[in-house]
Structure 1
Amino acid sequence: MSSYEAPALVISECQEGILDAERSVSSGLAEQAASRSIVERIARLARAFRIRGLPVVHCIIEHRPDQAGMLPNSYLGAMALRSRSMTAGTADVAIPAPLGPEPADIVSSRATGLTAFYGTDLDAMLRHHRVRTVVLTGVSTNVALPGLALEAVNRGYDVVLAEDCTAGSSAQAHAFFVHQQLKLLARVVTADEVVARLHQESSARS
C-alpha cells in the first residue's frame, strides 16, 4: 500500500437520525451500519488519527428549522422535506458518543444538497490543515460517499476508502457501489490496513 500524504479521517453522516433504526428514514441503512459494526471501527480509526495529531472531520447534515434552501428535486430531498428529519437542534443530528466529537475534531455541517463539499467549509478546513489524503468512512456507499470521493478527486485530494467502516442501504447496494464506482475513485482498504499504515509512517518519522 502506498503512503498516505498528510491524511485526515473523514466521517460521513454518522448521526443518530441516520444510524438509529427507530429514527432513521432509511431502516435498511441503519440495519446495515449496525450489522457491519461501523461505529466501533470508525471510533478505533479516530483514536489512531487523534493520537498522531491528525485531523478527524465529521461531515454532518443539519437542515435549518425553516427548511430554507431545501428542494424536492430528488427523492432524498423530497423525503427530507416531508419527514422534517435531520433538523438542527434535534436529536437527529447528534453524533454517536463513541465517535465524539472531541474538542480538536472538525465538524462540517450542511443545510442543503446531498454531498459533503456542497455549501460547506470542508475544503477550506482540509486545506487549512494541509491535508492531501482523505480517508473516508461512514454512510452511505449509495450516495454520500461516491459523491464525496468524486468531489475530493476533483479538488486534487488522494482518496482512501476504509471499506469495513462504511455501509449502504443493503448488502447488495454496498457491494455494487464499492466495486463498480468507489474503486474507480479511491484505494479501497480495511480499517486495520489504515491503522497499520499510520503506525508504519509514524515509526519512519521517529
Structure 2
Amino acid sequence: MGTDPLHAAALVISECQLGILDPGESMMAGLAAQAAERGIVGRIAELAAAFRSAGRPVVHCLIEHRADLAGIRPNSLLGSLAIKHRRMIAGTRDTLPPPQLTPRPADHVSTRAVGLTAFYGTDLDVTLRLRSVETIVLTGVSTNVAIPGFALEAVNRGYYVRIPADCVAGTSAESHEFMMRGLLPALSRITDSESVLRELRERDGR
C-alpha cells in the first residue's frame, strides 16, 4: 500500500466522548461495552502522550450538535437517536471526552454539528494540511460508521491512514471483526499501538 511517513503523522481520536463511551450514559450500549472490554481509551491515551512528546499533532474529532438540532435529520439511525433523545448537544456532559483523553493545550479539537464523518463541514482537512500531515493514525469509535467513513474520506484527500486495531471498537465483536477484515484493510494499514509506539521511539532515537 505504498509508504506512509510516520515522521509526518498526526494522531486522530474519533468520537471518544462520554455520551458514546460511558456505559451508564451511552446511547449505544453495545459500543460502550466493546470499547471498555477492548480497553481502547488507555492505549489511545498512551499514543497521545507519545505523539505529544515527539512533537506531532494530536487531533480530537468530536460531535457537538447545536441546541436546536439544526441540520440534524432523521435520515440515519444516529440522526434519529440524536433527535429523539436530544443527545450529543454542545455544552452538555455527553460531548466531554473521558478524563484520560482530555485535550491538552497544544492539541487541536475539531467539532462537527451535522453529518456522520469528521471531515464534513469542519476545519479538519485544512488543519492537517497546515501542519504538513501526510499520515493519519486513526483511533477511537466506531468501526461501524465513523472509522470507515473517516478512512475513506482521508484516502480521497490523499492521506495515508494507519489504524491500530487495539485502539478502535465497534458496536459488537462481530461487526468490528467484519469491518477490520473486510473494508478497512482496503483503505488503511492495520497495525497495533505497540508498533506505532516503537516506530516513534526509533525515529526519535529514544
TM-score, normalization by structure 1: 0.97
Aligned alpha-carbon RMSD (Å): 1.2
1:10 aligned to which of 9, 12, 22: 12
Shift of 1:3: 4.2
Report Cα offsets for 1:132-187 as digits up to 9, x if no partner: 00000000000000000000000000000011000000011100011101111000
C-alpha distance in 2, partners of 1:57/1:35?
Answer: 24
- Cα drift, residue 79 of structure 1: 1.2
Query: What secondary structure does 2:55 align onto?
Result: coil
101, 104, 122: which one aligns with 1:102: 104
- Counterpart in the other structure of 2:161: 159
Choose which of 51, 54, 57 in structure 1 pairs with 2:56: 54
Aligned CA distance change for structure 1 residues 174 and 139 (closer, same or farther; 3 Å)? same
Confirm or deny: 8 A CA contact 1:12 1:144 kept in the other structure: yes
Whether the aligned pair in 2 keeps the contact of 1:7 and 1:131 (CA below 8 Å) is: yes
Q: Distance in 2 between matches of 1:100 and 1:187?
A: 27
After the TM superposition, list the runs of 4 or more consecutive aligned residues in structure 1 that deviate by more than 2 angstroms.
none
Unaligned runs of 5+ in 2: none
**Matching residue of 1:67:** 69
Correspondence 1:1-206 to 2 at 5 A: 3-203=5-205
- Percent identical among aligned pairs is 57
Equivalent pairs counted in the alignment come to 204
1:164 touches 1:190 (CA, 8 Å); kept in 2? Answer: yes
Structure 1 unaligned segments of length 5 or more: list them.
none
Distance in 1 (alpha carbons) for counterparts of 2:22 and 2:184: 25
